[in-house]
């Protein structure tokens, strides 16, 4: 069975575009198998006309997945027990059919990413202050490495926070 990697632009920035790209890949016989680091793992199969949709739910129960199944959506994969991708036939009823629930979906993700980004920012600023102290070269190097790792965490939470914030604000403005 052949596999292929498809990179992600980031769900906070390009959710709709990524779902359409996954649909195009399925039409060519490459089906979503699972999330992969910074992207998706696709598996080769028969071409199919499907649509993909994404939902965020922390620690969902069986009833959550049954609700989607009864609406014509098949669970494909999840990551972090929070982000879930579903597959449906082209005419399946949208998972989110009204603007208010879409806004609530993005507001929830915005809050979660915002909390994480704020935590990383506080630690980042604290480390920045500590780096200013005259440390031994070993300690200064260790602080620099930890600061660099915290910077990566800040980027991977701060950018999605901004993406969800902009998405929510646009939807509120358009309604």
- pLDDT (0 to 100) of residue 91: 82
For the whole model, what pTM was predicted?
Answer: 0.80
- pLDDT (0 to 100) of residue 162: 96
Beta-strand pair 73-79/83-88: antiparallel
- Structurally, the chain folds into a number of domains equal to 2
Task: Look up residue 44 and give its two tokens.
Answer: 């080769």
Residues 82 and 108 in one domain: no
Cα–Cα distance between 70 and 72 in angstroms, integer? Answer: 6
Residues 79 and 9 in one domain: yes
- pLDDT (0 to 100) of residue 19: 96
- pLDDT (0 to 100) of residue 106: 92
- pLDDT (0 to 100) of residue 174: 87
Using 70 as the pLDDT threshold, list the residues of the chain that sit under it: none
In a domain, 94, yes or no: no
Residues 144 and 164 in one domain: yes
Cα–Cα distance between 130 and 142 in angstroms, integer? Answer: 11
| Range(s) of the domain holding residue 60 | 3-88
Picking from 88, 121, 150, the residue at the C-terminal end of a domain is 88
Q: Is 121 helix (H, G, I), strand (E, B) or coil?
A: helix
- pLDDT (0 to 100) of residue 31: 98
Residues 61 and 10 in one domain: yes
Residues 59 and 128 in one domain: no
Q: What is the pLDDT of residues 126-141, one digit of tens each?
A: 999 999 999 999 999 9
């Amino acid at each position: 069975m052949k596999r292929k990697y498809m990179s992600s632009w980031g769900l906070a920035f390009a959710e709709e575009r990524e779902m359409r790209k996954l649909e195009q890949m399925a039409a060519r016989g490459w089906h979503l198998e699972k999330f992969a680091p910074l992207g998706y793992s696709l598996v080769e199969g028969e071409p199919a006309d499907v649509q993909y949709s994404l939902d965020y739910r922390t620690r969902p129960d069986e009833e959550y997945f049954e609700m989607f199944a009864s609406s014509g959506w098949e669970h494909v994969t999840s990551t972090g027990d929070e982000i879930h991708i579903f597959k449906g036939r082209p005419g399946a009823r949208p998972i989110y059919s009204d603007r208010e629930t879409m806004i609530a979906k993005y507001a929830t993700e915005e809050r979660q990413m915002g909390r994480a980004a704020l935590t990383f920012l506080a630690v980042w600023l604290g480390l920045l202050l500590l780096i200013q102290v005259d440390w031994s070269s070993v300690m200064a190097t260790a602080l620099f490495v930890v600061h660099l790792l915290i910077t990566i965490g800040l980027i991977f939470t701060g950018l999605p926070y901004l993406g969800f914030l902009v998405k929510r604000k646009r939807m509120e403005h358009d309604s």
